[in-house]
Each structure stands twice: as structure tokens, then as C-alpha cells.
């Protein structure tokens, strides 16, 4: 096993940096600003690792990408979605692994995310999903970002910014086929596509859409959306407009809708070892990359009728042995009341009472080997037992995606390659 050693960061804060003072600033964008992470001091003395942390298994991430590559048709391109800090796994680590394992593009949601990659020397194509404000467009042109376009007004503004920078900016037109979020409606898309194709400062590189229900058993609405996407592609063909990339599939679509693969698919959660639903197709060997751990920081004895935690939500029916875990909803662990479990000594310890911002209590009466500073797993595998992101999501009443991105940055990330 190789452990990638991490150093505690310097004290950091987010500040608005005026574009003219930034080394990354595009020429002529004096009014543009970007959120950038700044260090307020020199590196401090090394601190001990906190007794709650997130482990990211880079070897498993590598295996997952290789399994996906082996599963897909050889000509199908992969775009790796690394938004929201790589779904909580680390944007740089996931993006680098994706490209190392053959992804041709990565996708993010914010300009800040794109600039983290570019400032780290990341050279691969980066697609900016969603909508862009005019103030962001000079940055897109200056740093060779691929822009998702949804309307003619933004297309015109981007063309002007590209012309000022003497650049030709690649764009992907987003077509709304029924999700009603971003994109030009499928029945009004062709005029926008034709306009972009004529603009000398824009390169019409791709056309895309997004499934709203690709990982459910019933694929009826997904087939309807794909049919609308095909209508747009047929209209383009009739108009003599060709693009390099056509993509509508997310992870669920990649797994279950091969007829909709086209030239490229966008995968986000799948390489991280989490399947988008219980019913979608499985690829054997794909396993979760993230494990969330802590240590027992206190042990208490409850006698009959005594309570633990805020709100007195748990009352002991008899003598119980309770472990305190130094992690809570301030770290992204759900706000639970007598629900959920942790793994200690390879066994399940139920959460008791209502957990706090910095503390969660579990019952270890039936785990006599559990002691002070014993390791506890909040999400992941220990021995023969496993708590999945889906388990945590069910306790919280949400989806696995929110659980993954919800682990906050005050939990240190430790990267392992084993």
C-alpha cells in the first residue's frame, strides 16, 4: 500500500480577486472577478491529522475507470464530470485520473472549478456546464474553456469576447429535451445552432442534452427525450451542419441506454464506485472510492432511564455502553435521531439519540472490544460489513449524490494508492 502523504493546509479563505491583479486574468477584462483560494500566511507547523477524515482510494478509482473503458465500445468517448470538487473526492485527483485513463474531456459547473484545473496546469478540454454571466466570458476565451450555450444572447456576447481575444471558442449547444432546466427547447434549437455555426469566433463543437430519468426501470420518458434529441440531429443533418461531439447520456444512460450513446457520454458518479440507482445495469468490479472514518473519542455508561444527546430522544431501557464519535452534521454527517449505524471492530453500532454538530453517539454495548480511539467507519467497508452512500442517503431521506458532495472540507482528505 502506498499512502499519499498530505500536509495540513495553510489558513485559507476565499476572496474576490480583481481580474487585473490575477496572473490568470484575461486581457481587457478589467471588470471581471473570480473566486480564488488564497493563502493568508506561510505554511504553519504541521498539525496532527484530525480524528475524523475521508480516505480516497486512488487505486480503486483507477480500476473503476479501466472497467468502464473495457465495458464501453472502443470508439465511444468519455467526458468525466468533476464538478463540486469531484463529487467530494478532489477535483484535481479525479480529473487527473480520468485523463490518465482515457477520458478526452472533463466537465465542471463553475468558472472557479475550471480555473482550479487550469491554474494547476490542466491542459485537456474543459466543458463549462450550465449558464454563464457576461463577466465570465472573457475568462472562457482567455483560458480555452469550452462553453455550454443555451441562447442567442449569450452566444453573441461570447462571440464578441472571443473576437477581442483573437480566439475561436469551442461551444456545445445544450438542447432542452424535457428536463426544463438549461438549454434551448428541442423545437426551437435549429436556428440557434445555425447562428452559432455562422459565427467566425465560435466553433460549434458539440450538441448535448440531459436525461432526467435514465436510471429507472421505466425508460419511457428517456426514450421520449432521446427522440427529441434525434429530431434536432436530423434537422442539423438536413441543414448540412456537422459536429464532433453529440452527447445526452449521464452515468445511467451509459449503463442502460446504449442506443443513445452517440459519440460521447458524460459520467460523474460511476467512476467513483457508486451506481446511480438500484435497478441500473452493473459493471462487475466497480467499487466505492470514498471511505469516511473517525475514532471513538469518549465512552460513557448509561443506566436505566438515562438519556443521551440533545432533545432526550434516546432513553436507555437498561445499562448501555455508549461511544462518542467526534463528527456530526457540521462535517456533513446527517442530522439523525436513533437512526443510522457506524462500523466498529467490524460490527454495526447503532446511532442513539440526536447527534450534534461535532458529535454522534453510538451504542457499543454488544461490541466489548471497542475502546477509546478505536477506528469507526461512517461510510465504507470494515471487515465483512459495509455502509454505502445509499445507506446514508436513506437515513437522511436524500440521494447518494448529496451524501458524497456533503462531506465538508474540514474533514481532511487522505489519498491512498493500494
Angle, in degrees to the nearest 10, between helices 189-198 and 152-164? 10
Is 83 marked active-site?
Answer: yes
Angle, in degrees to the nearest 10, between helices 111-119 and 91-100? 70
Distance of alpha carbon 127 from alpha carbon 107, whole angstroms: 5
- Helix-, strand-, coil-residue percentages of the chain, each rounded to 5: 30, 30, 40
| 3-state SS class at 216 | coil
Q: What is the DSSP string of 172-186?
A: EEEEESS--SSSEEG
Distance of alpha carbon 107 from alpha carbon 269, whole angstroms: 13
Distance of CA 14 to the CA centre of its chain: 20
Is 13 marked active-site?
Answer: no
Task: Work out the angle at residue 182's Cα, subtended by the Cα atoms of residues 168 and 129, and round it to the nearest 5 degrees.
Answer: 50
Position of cell 454505502?
388
Cell numbers linked to 241: 451542419
Cell numbers linked to 384: 465483512
Distance of alpha carbon 232 from alpha carbon 50, whole angstroms: 53
Bridge-based pairing state of the strands 320-325 and 360-363: antiparallel
What is the four-CA torsion angle of 31, 34, 35, 36, rounded to 10 degrees?
Answer: -120
Distance of alpha carbon 254 from alpha carbon 215, whole angstroms: 9
What is the four-CA torsion angle of 212, 223, 195, 188, rounded to 10 degrees?
Answer: -90
Catalytic hit among 11, 14, 310, 319: 310
Catalytic hit among 72, 83, 167, 293: 83
Burial (CB count <10 Å: 0-12, 13-18, 19+), residue 385: middle
Enzyme catalytic residues: 83, 310
Amino acid at each position: 500500500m502506498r499512502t499519499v502523504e498530505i500536509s495540513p493546509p495553510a489558513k485559507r479563505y476565499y476572496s474576490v480577486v480583481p481580474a487585473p491583479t490575477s496572473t490568470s486574468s484575461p486581457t481587457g477584462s478589467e471588470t471581471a472577478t473570480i473566486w480564488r483560494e488564497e493563502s493568508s500566511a506561510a505554511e504553519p507547523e504541521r498539525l496532527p491529522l484530525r480524528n475524523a477524515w475521508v480516505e480516497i482510494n486512488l487505486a480503486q478509482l483507477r480500476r473503476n475507470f479501466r472497467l468502464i473503458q473495457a465495458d464501453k465500445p472502443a470508439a465511444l468517448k468519455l467526458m468525466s464530470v468533476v464538478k463540486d470538487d469531484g463529487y467530494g473526492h478532489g477535483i484535481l485527483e479525479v480529473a487527473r485520473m480520468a485523463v490518465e485513463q482515457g477520458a478526452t474531456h472533463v466537465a465542471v459547473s463553475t468558472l472557479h472549478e475550471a480555473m482550479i484545473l487550469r491554474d494547476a496546469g490542466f491542459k485537456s478540454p474543459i466543458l463549462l456546464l450550465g449558464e454563464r454571466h457576461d463577466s465570465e466570458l472573457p475568462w472562457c476565451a482567455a483560458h480555452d474553456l469550452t462553453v455550454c450555450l443555451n441562447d442567442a444572447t449569450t452566444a453573441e456576447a461570447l462571440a464578441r469576447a472571443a473576437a477581442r481575444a483573437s480566439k475561436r471558442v469551442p461551444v456545445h449547444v445544450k438542447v432542452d429535451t424535457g428536463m426544463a432546466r438549461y438549454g434551448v427547447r428541442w423545437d426551437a434549437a435549429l436556428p440557434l445552432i445555425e447562428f452559432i455555426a455562422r459565427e467566425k469566433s465560435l466553433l460549434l463543437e458539440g450538441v448535448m442534452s440531459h436525461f432526467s430519468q435514465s436510471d429507472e426501470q421505466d425508460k419511457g420518458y428517456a426514450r421520449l427525450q432521446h427522440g427529441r434529441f434525434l429530431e434536432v440531429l436530423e434537422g442539423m443533418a438536413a441543414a448540412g451542419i456537422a459536429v464532433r461531439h453529440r452527447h445526452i447520456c449521464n452515468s445511467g444512460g451509459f449503463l442502460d441506454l446504449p442506443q443513445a450513446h452517440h459519440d460521447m457520454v458524460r459520467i460523474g458518479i460511476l467512476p467513483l464506485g457508486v451506481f446511480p440507482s438500484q435497478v441500473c445495469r452493473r459493471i462487475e468490479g466497480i467499487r466505492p472510492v470514498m471511505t469516511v472514518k473517525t475514532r471513538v473519542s469518549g465512552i460513557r455508561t448509561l443506566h436505566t432511564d438515562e438519556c443521551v444527546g440533545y432533545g432526550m430522544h434516546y432513553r436507555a431501557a437498561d445499562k448501555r455502553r455508549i461511544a462518542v464519535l467526534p463528527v456530526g452534521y457540521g462535517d456533513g454527517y446527517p442530522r439523525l435521531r436513533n437512526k443510522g449505524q457506524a462500523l466498529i471492530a467490524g460490527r454495526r453500532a447503532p446511532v442513539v439519540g440526536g447527534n450534534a454538530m461535532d458529535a454522534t453517539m453510538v451504542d457499543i454495548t454488544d461490541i466489548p472490544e471497542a475502546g477509546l480511539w478505536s477506528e469507526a467507519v461512517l461510510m465504507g467497508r470494515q471487515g465483512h460489513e459495509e455502509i454505502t452512500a445509499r445507506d446514508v442517503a436513506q437515513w437522511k431521506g436524500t440521494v447518494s449524490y448529496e451524501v458524497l458532495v456533503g462531506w465538508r472540507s474540514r474533514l481532511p482528505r487522505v489519498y491512498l494508492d493500494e
